[in-house]
Every structure is written in C-alpha cells, then in structure tokens.
Structure 1
C-alpha cells in the first residue's frame, strides 16, 4: 500500500505521517533552541537535574524522541512492514517524554497538551490501522444513534415450504443497516440455525 492510496488504510497512514512530521519538526526546533539559547529554559529547569545541563536535555529531546519520529517516517516512506511498530514506538516515546517533562519541571501548559495529545493520537492511529476499531461496539452504536438504545425486533415467521432456516434465527438488532445473513444449515438438516 502506498501512502497515496485512497483506502481507509491509506488515509490513516497519511495522517500518521502528518503527525510524525509535526512531532519530528517540534523536537528538532526544541533541540536547536536548547542548544543555541539555553538561557530561555534556565528558569524552568532551575532546581531540577537538568539545571545547567540544557545540552543534555537537548540531546535527549532531539536524538531519542525526535529520532523515533523520523525513523517511523523513513520506514513508512520505504513501505516497510515495521513502520506501524515504529509509529507505535514514536507515539509511546513522545507521550512518556511529555509526561516526564511535566513531572521534572512541575508545570503543565498547552504545548504539553498538544504534543502529548499528538503522541496519544499516534498510538490511536496505530490501533485503527491494526483493526482495533474495525467493528463498532454496542455502546458506540448507541452513541451514534443519538443516545437511543437500539430497537430489538424478533424474527418470528412461520416456516414456509422451501424457506431458509436462517430467516428464523434469533432477534435482529436494528441500527439502521440490515444484519448480515450468515449461511447456516445449507440444507444439511431440518433444524433451525444449525441447532
């Protein structure tokens, strides 16, 4: 699958690439700022392990955190099957970095929410790509139906001559789309639903 695909998988992969680019650029900017103008961050880092060691913070931000983002992009551009794992690792590393940063400097601001949220978004996109969101759960269907519980319609019908037993199988839950018919009993016996 190329990144230019129009399928759901292609769209998810493009979004993952955009998120990784945003995260990679932000870590690169932070890396350069910490190296070139460390005095900007001195007040925040005062009283922490990184006080006077802004270069160490820059290397930790730029190499491992940003490196995972760029590695994920590189693997995705090559079409590697490992790109999904790389995006999961990049999202996890970014989320952990932001959490640790908030604990070390003992503050939380909108940039932390943005970058931490993008890290979590990367993890969620990996779940979507791997099929974690392939089948909506019943509670999601209720939410999509405007908060109303779905109506249960029993399928009670008199068996007609030549009727398929699958027409008599249990209740059908109506969500706005017909329930798929599963091929059961294909004439092997006269029982309903293969029982």
Structure 2
C-alpha cells in the first residue's frame, strides 16, 4: 500500500485559530443561553406576536432548534478544532453560515430587527471569513497575479 502523498493543508496561524475559537465559543454560549431562555423561561419576554403567522405557537421549538442546530454546529467545529481534524476549518465556515442563515430566517419570519441580530450576523460573518482564510483562500502575495 502506498503512503498518502496528498499535500496536507498548512496549519493556519495561531492568531487565526484563536480568533476562530473565540468567535465559535461566543456563538455556542449565546446559542445555549438563548435555548435555555426560550425553552425554560417562555421566550425571555419576547412578545408572542413576533411569531404569529409562523408554524410555532410558542418559543419552545425555536429554542430547541437554536440550541441544537446553531449551537451544535459551533460545538462540532470546536471539537474538530480541538481534535485537530482537517475538516475543522470547513466546519467553522459551515457554523458561520448556519449562524447567518439563522439570523436571516429569524428576521424573515418575525419581521422584527433588534441590535442582537446585527451582533450575531456580524459574528457569523466574521467566523465564515476567518474560516475561509484558515482554509487557505488568502492569496500570497495578496495582489499577486496568476501565471506571471
């Protein structure tokens, strides 16, 4: 059997790895707090009118989805990073996209915007961009030309 000779991606710089971990932990903790608030505390004072016209009659299931999908994607990315799996950076990109999607869907369904939507949109965007950079998408040199 021939050894695996496929090139391995370079490990991203430490600052990039730390930044991704910080954003992912922030998003994970926020999703879990949101899940607890929505499920155990009846929506944390958010008016039920905000989900009128949706399939939900309470904030219980949105809270479960927030914790499992948004929080779960963040946890998966963090575990993969900790275990040094090659797919960790792709999982961070996916987790950032899940956060962005959650915010888009939440605003579209509730037709309400709050400053927290802006915060979590920003964290999802930052996580996605950092993950793409960790995947090696940053050209070196940045303004270099291909084939010259």
Please, what TM-score do these two structures have when normalized by structure 1? 0.63
Give the drift of 1:69: 0.2
Superposed CA RMSD: 2.0
Are residues 1:94 and 2:99 paired? Answer: yes
Aligned partners of 1:17 and 1:50: how far apart in 2? 34
Q: Which runs of 5+ in 1 are unaligned?
A: 1-6, 139-181, 183-195
Task: Name the counterpart of 2:29.
Answer: 25
Counterpart residue number, 2:122:
117
Measure the CA separation in 2 of the matches of 1:36 and 1:76: 31
Provide runs of 4+ in structure 1 moved above 6 Å: none
Q: Which residue of 2 aligns with 1:13?
A: 17
Q: Partners in 2 of 1:46 and 1:93 — Cα distance? A: 20
| Contact 2:27/2:71 (<8 A) preserved | yes
CA deviation string 1:23-50 (max 9, x = no partner): 0000001000001221512335342315
Q: Deviations for 1:94-150, whole angstroms, at most 9, x for unmatched residues? A: 000001001111021211111011101111001211222233237xxxxxxxxxxxx
Q: Which has the higher contact order (CA 8 A, sep 6+)?
A: 2
Q: 1:50 touches 1:57 (CA, 8 Å); kept in 2?
A: no
Work out which of the residue numbers 49, 52, 56 in structure 1 matches 2:57: 52
Query: Unaligned 5+ residue runs, structure 2?
Result: 1-10
- Asked whether the 8 Å contact 1:31–1:62 carries over to 2, the reply is yes
Does residue 136 (structure 1) correspond to residue 142 (structure 2)? The answer is yes
Alpha-carbon shift at residue 90 of structure 1 (Å): 0.3
Q: 1:92/1:136 Cα in 2 relative to 1: closer, same or farther (>3 Å)? A: same
Is the contact between residue 50 and residue 111 of structure 2 (CA under 8 Å) also seen in structure 1? no
Alignment of 1:1-195 (within 5 A): 9-39=13-43, 40-134=45-139, 135-137=141-143
Task: Give me the whole-angstrom Cα distance separating, in 1, the residues matched to 2:89 and 2:12.
Answer: 15
Tell me if the contact between 1:45 and 1:51 (Cα under 8 Å) persists in the aligned partners: no
Structure that is richer in helix per residue: 2
Equivalent residue for 1:161? none
Aligned length: 133
